Structure 1
Amino acid sequence: MHSQHLSATPILNFQHESIQELIFARSWQSLDTYNKIGAAYGFVKDEVLFGYNRSDDISASEVLADGYGQCNTKGNLLMALLRALDIPCRFHGFTIDQQLQKGAIPGYVFWLAPKYIIHSWVEVYYEGKWLNLEGFILDNTYLTAIQQRFSDVKQSFCGYGIATPCLAQPETEWRGSDTYIQKEGIHDDFGLYDSPDDFYAQHGTNLSGLKRWLYQNLIRHLINRNVQRLRAASGSEPTRSHLKDGCKS
């Protein structure tokens, strides 16, 4: 029934040695379904740090080697791990408003971001239904730093890679139900795909030409440096100017 949601692809290359070694070292295959999902989810969420890779359509093994990723690339790795554990999963494609990235992407390079940025989450088949997994994008250290930076904001928040109705308690932990961290910033819904490969073959990635070259070779490194600074500066005073901008237009 779910063969197309269990197969390997060039992006979901779960047969790669590094992915198989990870699963073996963690003994994930011996877990029940709930804890298999939780183990893969927790690893991608917190042990693969929030950051920006060279492209959205890189393989899961490259994301694992990088040790960091964002919505699309961390999703590639999560899907590969789930399929390696015989858990059916599929890709749901969207765009999000660029305002969601303010703060994470420094203002001096924000011109590079398209108005609506390609976004995705993973849908996993569990106990007879499909669940939406999006809350894995931000590692807990980064999310906690932003929560502390804006400790006076308890409810709706948009920026720094977050778009949630409740900054104080976003639905990011695996408990057998949907998880979200950027859902409130969604603009376009491209629907369901069996794999990220199918989606990118149809829609492409966020950047092309000179902008893509600049992003890959210079700008993403500046963005990652900013993300690292934010992650480390959990005690810094908040700056609230970005909150004037909503996530949707």
Structure 2
Amino acid sequence: MSHDYLSATPLLDYQSAGIRALVEQRGWAGLPSMERIGAAYEFVRNEILFGYNTDDALPASKVLADGYGQCNTKGTLLMALLRALDIPCRFHGFTIDKGLQRGVVPELVYPLAPRNIIHSWVEVHHDGKWLDLEGFILDQEVLSALQAKFPERTSLCAYGAGTDCLQKPNVAWAGKSTYIQKTGINHDFGTFDNPDAFYAQHRQLLGLRGLAYRLFIRHWMNRRVAQIRTGRVPTIPGGESNLVPPVSVSQINEVV
């Protein structure tokens, strides 16, 4: 089977005016491939803030216009930018346990969240191998606030983070894989040429639950993320027991 890791798609709409203008204004196209990847990656990591859009399956141009996103939507934008810069990339789909979102999802509605939440990262082809890019999900201000709140913790699986090295996570682009939610993963769907192919098979946020999320819950979640960004990290009921991965590290390693 042949694969296409460079083409535009309805979601990876890198030929849209906003994305073309961004690439041109930043002068990214003239950089060496290592720096092209880094420029797109760091832009999505810190200039597109961590937050919750109306849906997972949004075009990259819409995510750029929103100025914020989560794993799936920020990933779509990153893929579009990489392909605009002639960098091959693909989509890797997973689910994460909803415990990773605890502290961001308000406790009043947390029981209504699905147990398994669609998650993804971007795989980029660089220097003859595929690398995993997931560390772009949390912007640095959110990550720094969590590091300051839990200075003695190495493992954290809550507030949008899932890592066993909270104080020094591999999130900056340095030619290697990056992660910030890996320890929450509980199912692997495999790789897809693009997010369009994945979302044609796997969707959430449908029906009344999806409507409630779009109209009300996500705005509540975004306010909580903004609160975290300023250093006011909400307390999670249950204490330390709700800050660790819901599955063992050995199980996680079997998945990824």
TM-score, normalised to structure 1's length? Answer: 0.95
Match of 2:202 in 1: 203
Cα separation, partners in 2 of 1:118 and 1:242, compared to 1, 3 Å: farther
RMSD: 1.7
For structure 1, the residue ranges without an aligned partner over 5 or more in a row are none
Partner residue of 2:241?
A: 244
CA contact (8 A) 1:159 1:243 kept: no
- The answer for the alignment partner of 2:136 in structure 1 is 136
Q: Are residue 228 (structure 1) and residue 234 (structure 2) matched?
A: no
Query: In structure 2, what is the Cα distance between the partners aligned to 1:135 and 1:44?
Result: 10
- CA shift digits 1:58-92 (9 cap, x unpaired): 00000000000000000000000000000000000
SS of structure 1 residue aligned to 2:148: helix
Q: Superposition pairs for residues 63-78 of structure 1, below 5 Å?
A: 63-78=63-78
Deviations, residues 10-57 of structure 1 (Å, cap 9, x unaligned): 100000000000000000011000000000000000000000000000
Partner of 1:56: 56
Unaligned residue ranges in structure 2 (runs of 5+): 248-256
Aligned to 2:25: 25
Alignment partner of 1:191: what SS?
A: strand
Match of 1:98 in 2: 98
Q: Which residue of 2 aligns with 1:214?
A: 212
In structure 2, how many angstroms separate the alpha carbons of the residues matched to 1:49 and 1:231? 10
Aligned to 1:178: 177
- Contact 1:135-1:173 at 8 Å conserved across structures: yes
Q: What's the % identity of the aligned pairs?
A: 54
Query: Aligned with 1:130: secondary structure?
Result: strand
- Hey, what's the Cα distance between the residues in 2 that align with 1:99 and 1:3? 34
Whether contact under 8 Å (2:92, 2:191) holds in the other structure is: yes
CA distance in 1, matches of 2:157, 2:216: 26
Structure 2 counterpart of 1:21, which letter?
A
Look up the equivalent residue of 2:240 and give its one-letter code: L
Q: Structure 2 counterpart of 1:39, which letter?
A: A
Amino acid at match of 2:93: G
Contact 2:103 2:236 in 1 (8 A): no
Equivalent pairs counted in the alignment come to 246
